[in-house]
Amino acid sequence: MKGIPISDSIRTGIGADDLRQAFLDNLVCALGRLPAYSTRHDHYLALAMTVRDHVMRRGVRCFEKGDNLLVRRVAYFSAEFLPGPHLGNHLLNLGLTESIRKMLDGLGINLDDLLAEEEEPGLGNGGLGRLASCYLDSLATVGVQSVGYGIRYEFGIFDQTIRDGWQIQGTDKWLHGGNPWEVHRPGAVQDVMFGGHTEPWQDESDSPRKRWVPSIVIRGEAYDTPISGYDSDTCALMRLWKAEAVESFDFSAFNHGDYDRAVEQKVASENLSKVLYPNDELHRGKELRLKQQYFFTCCALQDMLRILSLRGAPPESFHSNWAVQLNDTHPAIAVAELMRLLVDQHGLGWDVAWKVTRSTFSYTNHTLLPEALERWPVDMIGGLLPRHLEIIYEINARFLDEVRAAFPGDDERLARLSLIDESGPRYVRMANLACVGSQTVNGVAELHSKLLRQTVLADFAALWPEKFTNVTNGVTPRRFVALANPGLGKLLAKVAGKNWPGDLEKLHKLEPHAEDPAFRQEWREVKLSNKRHLASLIAERTGIEVDPTSLFDVQVKRIHEYKRQHLNLLHVLTLYLRLKKDPKAEVPARTFIFGGKAAPGYFLAKRIIRLATAAGELINHDRDIAGRIKVVFFPDFNVRNGQSIYPAVDLSEQISLAGMEASGTGNMKMSLNGALTIGTLDGANVEIREAVGEENFFLFGLNAAEVPALKHGGYRPRDRYESDPLLREVIDFLTSGALGEDRDLFQPLVDNLLYHDPYLLLADYRGYLNAQQRVSELWMDPEAWTRASILNTARMGRFSSDRSIRDYCQRVWKVNVKKLKK
Ligand code: GL4
């Protein structure tokens, strides 16, 4: 339908009557339901479709504009996305919450009931996937055309329940009730090849070419989910790929009566996008994971070339039409894939293709943990992606020539920079591939970017210092403040103007109000009401009654030794032992709240969860303690639960060993909601502390320079245990039998701490206790605490993901953004 502008094909403005009609139309026509018999879930689906259509309209209109103007689009390549429930967020972004509520009221339907019906897509493990979703939200908000490319896992991150104190993993069936947010695009399919071999061939121009003859082809089908921006005409798209067999059946086998073999191929193909790997920051080297990575990047790049040709632009102009961000190395194989597409499929010469490729990609590193660094056996890549291995070798040969010219005779440097690790069995190093194939490389907080340049990527930083930059992470204030904490939102609107979620620096206007006792009172009331809400959820999910006026001390994030939830637990138990010995001790009432998933195969992480639940079982029922401290493990921490937890936090636990947490983003969500942080100088904590003021932050622990110094100086954790009676007492307590009948339960944790202590808990224990003592003292002065809480929120404006995205646009992608409204 050339010549039909989008404005002719859709209704523009939308009024209350239109919404009501659209809702009823969807209920009857799309779902085929008789209104009188329809269920709550039907209502949710119909409303979701109504809202989705509305957002889609904006999306298509904005896409048309982008094509007319030939704007450079951003493609965010990420193996993980964690969008959270969509409905409430769209309503907020579109300013429709109240009109929809009224419209539904008129039909006798309650909006909150429908909001509760939504299943969230758990297509990520934690911070990295959630960041990707914050960034799509901000891309749409600041007016950048963008697509988030990823995988439509049929089963996302497992559901966590707690049984007898242990984590039990359940299958995440997020699609079982239907997913009204996505639009299946049967037209947008891409074929993805695997296996086989390569062979030379000649084209008409007589230049020698390479051809890949695969052993199997799998089809990727696109599912689009629109992502609205706040107060914005722009809409981002999350385009996720589902794997399908090219033919549903192997018909030759079927015709021969071999039914099993006929379906085998179909099942094998579809397995590819079945399930998300549940490991955060751990590379396991499983072949299926490599297939997933290649699958979605291959679909994405072919899709982008297709869109390019619709624009009538040649493949040589790929980089001026698209900027691709690699969210860690998970999509790094895309560097070789784009080369293959440009050289083998589109006939570009190597040098031109390489220039295009290098001007397209940028790479964000998200972790320094050695066990997270992705490397694939050369044989595995060669077997699965034979053409890519050749391309990687060619990139490497040319790159190493460059290195030899820059550092003649430095063979060790050459070996370290090489894309191939040849120190033992041979591996392809994905971070090296990403660095070589990218325009810019960045870390996610100042400290992390500095350590990246000094350690993991030091050789690349020496070679190309100008490539390296930092973009500190951010979080969307829409979902994590306005939506999660409407009470606070109202207060903020009063002092910072109602557009504060679109311009978070406006929160500075709060500062003078920190001195106003009446305002502090209002502030405390909002917090208390959020804590009451969380207390009721805790009672509902765990059966534990907690006191909403107690200090809510919260650590929610993936369970990992480096994050040191067990240091937090050592403090809990130290406090417990103190109260047992001295019931008159001045210890203000505290509720310790833990939440987070452990990778199913991570033995010690699961023991840490067990320790938290065991501490709860003991302390919560101890009559001597009389409820003065309580310990809760909140099950199934996810985006939705996060939205109930963050607003209720008084004390934010950000206690990773310095140098280990690349950035953290929960730290930002809590502080934005008025929590004070107890933390180390790690990740973005450093910048948060600078922003909120050191007097409003409880600092403790070794710094990133002291950590390696201590380790290399022959750290002996057992000496700490011997010399510190309090520490000895609490460690001994773990295996005393007091924490349950099985006294061996925590022996592995204790042995690990006494004889290895890789994350230096015992070294930081005293500093942590002292900082916790300062917390208690400030808490006993509610006016001073509230002042510090207000100042935390007031000074956190720069941690909006809008700022991060503006940084990326300016320093990395070179695309324009909307100016902020005055
Ligand atoms: C992580 C980091 O661990 C975390 O500090 C950071 O905030 C997040 C987003 O940049 O990325 N890296 C990996 S891997 N998982 C994460 O959550």
Domain assignments of the chain as residue spans, ordered by start: 1-69+94-119, 70-85+120-472+809-813, 477-799
Q: How many degrees, rounded to 5, is the angle at CA 666 between CA 74 and CA 676?
A: 135
Whether 477-799 and 70-85+120-472+809-813 are alike in CATH topology: the answer is: yes
d(CA 122, CA 174): 8
Q: How many degrees, rounded to 5, is the angle at CA 17 between CA 15 and CA 20?
A: 110
Pocket of ligand 1, beta carbon within 6 A: 126-128, 131, 280-281, 328, 366-367, 372, 444, 473, 661-665, 683
366 is catalytic: yes
Enter the tokens of residue 240: 């996720």
How much is the pLDDT for 65?
A: 79
CA 611 to ligand 1 center in whole angstroms: 25
Q: Which residue type sits at 542?
A: T
d(CA 240, CA 299): 9
Phi and psi based region of residue 409 (left: phi greater than 0; alpha: psi -120 to 50; beta: remaining): left
563 is catalytic: yes
How much is the pLDDT for 2?
A: 62
SS3 content of the chain, % helix, strand, coil (to 5): 55, 15, 30
How much is the pLDDT for 14?
A: 65
Strands, sheet with 420-421, edge to edge from the N-terminal-most edge strand = 375-377, 427-429, 420-421
For 70-85+120-472+809-813, the fitting CATH number among 3.80.10.10, 3.40.50.2000, 3.40.50.720, 3.40.50.300 is 3.40.50.2000
Instruction: List 235's β-bridge partners, or say none.
Output: 228
DSSP letters spanning 615-666: HHHHHHT-TTTTTSEEEEEESS--HHHHHHHGGG-SEEEE-PPTTS-S--SH
How much is the pLDDT for 260?
A: 77
d(CA 158, CA 279): 11
How much is the pLDDT for 177?
A: 95
Instruction: State residue 317 phi and psi, 5-degree precision.
Output: -100, 15
Q: Ligand 1: which residue has its CA nearest to atom 7?
A: 664
How much is the pLDDT for 12?
A: 46
Q: Ligand 1: which residue has its CA nearest to atom 17?
A: 127
Question: How many Cα atoms occupy the beta-carbon half-sphere of 282 within 13 Å?
Answer: 17
How much is the pLDDT for 70?
A: 79
Query: In 30-165, at which residue ranges do the beta strands (DSSP E only) sit?
Result: 73-77, 146-151, 159-163
Distances in whole angstroms, Cα of residue 299 to Cα of each of 75, 145, 151, 335, 519: 13, 19, 10, 13, 53
How much is the pLDDT for 9?
A: 43
665 is catalytic: yes
Instruction: List 421's β-bridge partners, or say none.
Output: 427
CA 819 to ligand 1 center in whole angstroms: 29
Q: Which residues of the chain have pLDDT under 70?
A: 1-14, 16, 248-254, 822
Q: What is the dihedral of CA 608, 614, 615, 621, to 10 degrees?
A: 160
What topology does CATH give the domain 477-799? Rossmann fold (3.40.50)
